[in-house]
Chain A
Amino acid sequence: MKVLKAIIYGVEKALWDALGRGSLAFTPFIGENICEEMSNIFGKNIESSSLDELLEEMGHFYVEKLGFSESFDVKRGDSEFSIEVKGCSLLDVEERLIKDGVTPFICPLMNSVAYIVRKKLGVKSRIKSINVDPENRTCRLSFEILG
Chain B
Amino acid sequence: MRNVGDPTPKENFLEVVIYGVERALWDALGKSSLAFTSRIGESLCEELEIKVCEENFVSIEEAVAAIGDALKELGILEDIHAQVDESQIRFRVKGCMLLPIEKRLQKEGIEPFICPIMNAAVYMLRRRLGVRAKLSDINVDVGRKTCEIVFEKL
Contact = CB atoms under 8 A, between A and B. Distances in A.
Given A6-B44, A7-B18, A9-B43, A33 B23 contact: yes
A34 interface: yes
B25 A8 contact: no
Interface residues of B, number: 37
Q: Which of B11, B17, B23 has the most CB of A within 10 A?
A: B17
Contacts of B116: 3, 7
B152 interface: no
B10 A1 contact: yes
Contact of A89 (B10, B75, B76): B10
Contacts of A31: 20
Interface residues of A, number: 35
Contacts of B28: 25-26, 29
A139 B10 CA distance: 18
Interface string B93-121: 00001000000000000000010100100
Interface of A: 1-11, 13-15, 17-18, 25-26, 29-34, 37-38, 41-42, 66-68, 89, 106, 108, 111
